[in-house]
Amino acid sequence: MTGAGAVACIGGGGFLVDDERGVQERHLLTLIPESRRRERPRVVFLGLAHGDAERGQFKAYKMFSKLGCDVTTLPFFPYEMKRDYPAEAKAADLVYVGGGNTPAMIAVWREFAFDRALHDAWQAGTVLSGISAGANCWFEDYVTDSVPGGGVRAGLGWLPGTFCPHLDSEPWRAPLLAGAARAPAYGVREGGMMIVRPGTAPEFVADKPGVTANVRWPGEAAREVPALDLSSR
């Protein structure tokens, strides 16, 4: 991942669930590399996993505009044929992917070759981030409720291992994560965020005190890892 941007995987919380404090979102902006920082960061919001609902797009505009960013959305329903989606993704300093149906989102991205556009943007230094589906999608495997009964499905495979959001708020997730064959396996709770940077171990932060992440490294038992509380900063 040499030269790639950070990937921030959010287990729950933030502006899409009407948390207007901006704790998570301000921290995401600090992940933009120094070489790409500008007076008004460029943020692209992708709401495909939730059907490109206008409410989610509005919340993204409201939050990131308040933080001094230029915000755009790239909807797939409807797909805007006159726009250059790959170019807009690559020009973004931060891409934020909303929650919803992960398998459907990945399928549509692949149909439009937008997965490759996102990968190119990431390799060029764009920060990739998202909540729930927007956190799941980057991994080899992920735990999802978007299939009947819930299950483990294959993601884009850009990050190794298995990821699970909402670990504490939906009890059925923990057994699936514990039984996932592919390690490392990460379970991130509400308010928590896992940050992956090129060549370093994952970092865990949270928008409230007392949050931990569940981590299982290959050949080891799962353990709880404390997350750094950002809310008091």
Enzyme catalytic residues? 132, 166
Give the number of other Cβ atoms within 10 Å of residue 172's Cβ.
Answer: 10
Mapping DSSP onto H, E and C, the string for the chain reads CCCCCCEEEECCCCHHHCCCCCHHHHHHHHCCCHHHCCCCCEEEEECHHHCCCHHHHHHHHHHHHHCCCEEEECCECCECCCCCHHHHHHHCCEEEECCCCHHHHHHHHHHCCHHHHHHHHHHCCCEEEEECHHHHCCEEEEEECCCCCCEEEECCCCEEEEEECCCCCCCCHHHHHHHCCCCCEEEECCCEEEEECCCCCCEEEECCCCCEEEEECCCCCCEEEECEECCCC
